[in-house]
Amino acid sequence: MLLPKLLMLDDDLVEQIISEGIAILENPGVRVHNQEALELLANANAEVDFKTQIACIPERITRQALKTAPHEFTLFDLNGNPAVHYYGDKIHFDPGSGGLTIIDSQTERPRSPMTNDLIKFVKLVETLPQIDAQSTAFVCSDVVPEIGDLYRLYLALNYMNKPIITGAFRKDTWWTMKEMLSVVAGGDEALASKPTAVFDVCPSPPLLWSDTTCQNLIDCAHFLIPAQLISMPLAGATAPVTLAGAVVQHTAECLSGVVIHQLAKAGAPIVWGGSPAIFDMREGSTPMGAVETWMISSAYVQVGKALGLPTHAYMGMSDAKIVDTQCGLESMGSNFVAALSGANIISGCGMLDLESCLSYEKLVIDAEMIGMVKRFVKGIVVRDDPIALSLMQKSGHKGDFLTLPHTRKWYREEQYMTSEVIDRASFEGWKSRGEKSTFERARNRVEKLVATYQPNKITDEVRQELRAVTLRAANKFGMDTLPPLTQGD
Amino acid sequence: MINELFQKMAQSIIDGDSDVAIELAEQAVEQGTDPLEAISQGFVLGVNKVGEAFSNGDTFLPELVMAGEAMKAAVAALEPEMKKRGSERQMLGKVVLATVEGDIHEIGKTLVGTMLSAAGFQVIDLGVDVSSARIVEKTTTINANIVALSALLTTTMVKQCEVIEALEKAGLRKTVKVMVGGAPVTREWAQKIKADGYSEDAIDAVKVAKQVLGL
């Protein structure tokens, strides 16, 4: 059976991109602003200049790291069930992350998000079956910025059951976040054997590992917590303008990440991911909705697969400022490309405005897109043999398929059943339901879904411990109390 | 015991399983159960359950139609016994159903028929491409309460108007209500041709049918 698939590069081009990426690590090498990583590289006999903090990594070391990096791993939900399998062409979806604003459901314009917004967002993600994992979607403005990263995880852990894609903004906060995950999992070993979270680690283009992100990468390796490489070449600004050139830079940056990570702990799980974009030559912005951005992402996913690594992409997003037509068309195009490229996890649903804003309404609209693309990549399946001959001979010219058990047996497999967010009524039907726009239908569905949210199963003891860990971190930065969590949860 | 049978009857409708529904109907007759009770306390509960699930968006047309088919089969299996007992199922009304002349589109019309009969209307489905004369004739002979007309094309929609005029000429317009539906048909059109009811879809048709009869 043919599964629909998208390949941007032929085999020779993939090989050339990989060999150029490897050659870049040899010369000019990669900038590593982290002492521990430089020592790891020096001990492995890379050519390290501790003064300029540049490491030139010979091909042998890179090839060795690719040998020890695992080809697959699984993320588990808080009940211990497998939820996201990073493997082959399997696809999963989680919301965009690191947003700074949220679209207000009433004014339809962005505003600063607060604690209750993130709680609502996490609950909403739990109720959407199309979405496989949580993300630490946005930073809450009612806590000090220094704990912005860990506070997101604290809130998410209180309300989520699905696994989570997260990330730390500082070296010390990574440890607090690891402690939280460990508290919920029941210890570091339990967390390592059934990881519930992935940490995004982002090299800076071109070819730079900052102290913070590099340390996060190494610490993840030591604790066997999966790390996700988010290389972000900006084609035409911080990376070559040619799409193939941007993919080469992405390859070099990710390869350097794999090397440092595997030197820290061979066999630790790592993901070939990214968030590249073209540089918009009019606005000077980083459009995630640009078709060329999708092409770079699709191509690097193909490179990652050729290297036998689990893959990730930041796709399914829009640059529109409100949930409008542009928002829909960019998200759908991007989701399709990502799914057809077989990225194991696709982060981006619910997100708009150049990776800076989230929307509840966009999330439930995107969930429908995801339902559609998941259906699409399952392909056209032969359910019976012969396909339809016996059925047509039996039914003759009656056209009574709606009444046949065959229809009842297969229709839910064959058709993705959309929610009321997608309008397929007749004009009169649409009219009689109040002539609602997509946004209005989505807004109604958000409220309906959030009301069905079921709390996770972590104990009160664990909740208290989580709060204590978070409060200790907050105290360090001059915050005496934490905002209260929603009553009655 | 009898409650268990009623539950199974309801379940056979929910499962849309005509064979099981017929089997249970026959079993009820053998046991001497009142066929009217079998319908009202058994099978109908299944129809209601499926209708409810459909309205909530938990279940879809295939389940709904198959439930309707199973209901029809069950009632048919009980009919000889009802005749024997001289009892008759209290019907909500008699409906003459047709797709108008020149139009061979069937699905919507048949769906409406299934839903109406599952809800307790007696439906006489004349099929597709039915002339006004034939509709008038049938309406007269069975003394119908409702004439329900389907049309899928803008070109055949006008025939709905023609049927209403024919009913008027035959002096039936005071005693029979007319419902119209079909893709190009709108509420405005229904008002324009002086139809009594318009329904957007097959589910709504049941509501409209009850409404026009004041039930």
CATH number of B173's domain = 3.40.50.280
Q: How does strand A47-49 pair with strand B197-198?
A: unpaired
On the question of pLDDT at A179 being above 70, the answer is yes
Q: Which residues contact B24 (CB under 8 A, 6 or more apart)?
A: B5, B8, B9, B12, B38, B42, B74
- Asked whether the beta carbons of residue B60 and residue A411 sit closer than 8 angstroms, the reply is yes
Which CATH number fits the domain that encloses residue B27?
A: 1.10.1240.10
Q: Are A315 and A346 in contact (CB under 8 A)?
A: yes
Q: Are residues B138 and B106 in the same domain?
A: yes
pLDDT in tens, A293-310: 999 999 999 999 999 999
Q: Which domains are assigned to chain A?
A: 68-378 (3.20.20.480)
On the question of pLDDT at B65 being above 50, the answer is yes
What does DSSP assign to residue A130?
T
Nearest to A408 among B16, B111, B201 (CB): B16
- Farthest CA pair distance, chain A: 82
Place of tokens 């960019």: A330
Q: Which of B65, B128, B191, B208 to mutate to test the interface with A (most CBs of A within 10 A)?
A: B65
Q: Are residues B21 and B103 in the same domain?
A: no
What does DSSP assign to residue A100?
S
> B113: number of CA atoms within 13 Å, CB side?
20
Under the banding of pLDDT at 50, 70 and 90, the label for residue A488 is very low
On the question of pLDDT at A392 being above 70, the answer is yes
**Residue range A317-327: mean pLDDT, rounded:** 98
Closest CA to B45 of B112, B117, B118: B118
Distance CA A162, CA A198 (A): 12
Q: Are residues B79 and B106 in the same domain?
A: no
Q: What percent of chain B has pLDDT over 70?
A: 100
Tell me the three state secondary structure of residue A365. helix
Segment of A287-291, B119-123, B171-175 carrying the highest mean pLDDT = A287-291
- Asked whether the beta carbons of residue A399 and residue B107 sit closer than 8 angstroms, the reply is yes
Its domain, for residue B192, covers 94-212
Q: Are B102 and B129 in contact (CB under 8 A)?
A: yes
CB atoms within 10 A of CB B3: 9
Pick the last residue of a domain from B85, B115, B132: B85
Distance CA A49, CA A28 (A): 12
Chain A and chain B share a number of CB contacts under 8 A equal to 33
pTM of the model: 0.91
**Residue range A147-168: mean pLDDT, rounded:** 97
pLDDT in tens, B170-214: 999 999 999 999 988 988 999 999 999 998 888 889 999 999 999
Q: Are A174 and A168 in contact (CB under 8 A)?
A: yes
pLDDT at residue number A398: 85
Q: Are residues B183 and B161 in the same domain?
A: yes
What does DSSP assign to residue A280?
P
On the question of pLDDT at A287 being above 50, the answer is yes
pLDDT in tens, A347-376: 999 999 999 999 999 999 999 999 999 999
Closest CA to A19 of A178, A247, A345, A336: A247
Q: Are A119 and A160 in contact (CB under 8 A)?
A: no
Q: Are A422 and A349 in contact (CB under 8 A)?
A: no
Place of tokens 């009850």: B210
Q: Are B174 and B196 in contact (CB under 8 A)?
A: no
- Asked whether the beta carbons of residue B61 and residue A402 sit closer than 8 angstroms, the reply is yes
Nearest to B187 among A417, A420, A428 (CB): A428
Q: Are residues B149 and B58 in the same domain?
A: no
Pick the last residue of a domain from B85, B119, B143: B85
Beta strands in A215-266 (DSSP E): 227-231, 234-235
Q: Are residues B101 and B60 in the same domain?
A: no
Asked if the interface predicted TM-score (ipTM) of this complex is over 0.85, the answer is: no
How many residues can be counted in chain B?
Answer: 215
Interface of A with B in 403-432 (CB under 8 A): 403, 405, 407-408, 411, 417, 419-420, 425-429, 432
Q: Are residues B135 and B174 in the same domain?
A: yes
Burial call B78-104: b when 16+ CB within 10 Å, e when fewer: beebbeeeeeeeeebbbbbbbbbbebe
Q: Which of B17, B20, B66, B112 to mutate to test the interface with A (most CBs of A within 10 A)?
A: B66
> A154: number of CA atoms within 13 Å, CB side?
30
Q: How does strand B122-125 pair with strand B146-150?
A: unpaired
Q: Are residues B113 and B195 in the same domain?
A: yes
Q: Are B161 and B88 in contact (CB under 8 A)?
A: no
End-to-end CA distance of chain A: 46
Pick the last residue of a domain from B52, B85, B118: B85
Closest CA to A217 of A28, A34, A21: A34
How many residues can be counted in chain A?
Answer: 489
Q: Are residues B184 and B140 in the same domain?
A: yes
pLDDT in tens, B11-54: 999 999 999 999 999 999 999 999 999 999 999 999 999 988 98
Place of tokens 């939900």: A77
Helix ranges (H only) for A265-317 are 291-306
Task: Identify all chain B residues contacting A426, using CB atoms and an 8 Å cutoff.
Answer: 183, 200-201
Distance CA A196, CA A162 (A): 8
Task: Identify all chain A residues contacting B183, using CB atoms and an 8 Å cutoff.
Answer: 426
Structural tokens at position A101:
């604003």
- Asked whether the beta carbons of residue B186 and residue A428 sit closer than 8 angstroms, the reply is yes
Chain B residue with CA closest to A433: the answer is B200
Q: Are residues B79 and B99 in the same domain?
A: no
CA B13 to chain centre: 16
Mean pLDDT of chain A: 96
pLDDT in tens, A188-217: 999 999 999 999 999 999 999 999 999 999
Closest CA to A141 of A121, A165, A169, A111: A111
- Asked whether the beta carbons of residue B186 and residue A408 sit closer than 8 angstroms, the reply is no
Chain A residue with CA closest to B14: the answer is A408
Q: What percent of chain A has pLDDT over 90?
A: 95
On the question of pLDDT at A434 being above 50, the answer is yes
Peptide bond into A206 cis (omega under 30): yes
Q: Are residues B100 and B76 in the same domain?
A: no
Tell me the three state secondary structure of residue A453. coil
Percent of chain B as helix, strand, coil, to the nearest 5:
60, 10, 30
Q: Are A335 and A316 in contact (CB under 8 A)?
A: yes
Nearest to A402 among B57, B107, B186 (CB): B107
> A220: number of CA atoms within 13 Å, CB side?
30
Q: Are residues B200 and B110 in the same domain?
A: yes
pLDDT at residue number B200: 84
pLDDT at residue number A487: 52
In chain B, the number of structural domains is 2
Structural tokens at position A263:
């030197």
- Chain A nearest CA to B31, separation (Å): 29
- Asked whether the beta carbons of residue A408 and residue B66 sit closer than 8 angstroms, the reply is yes
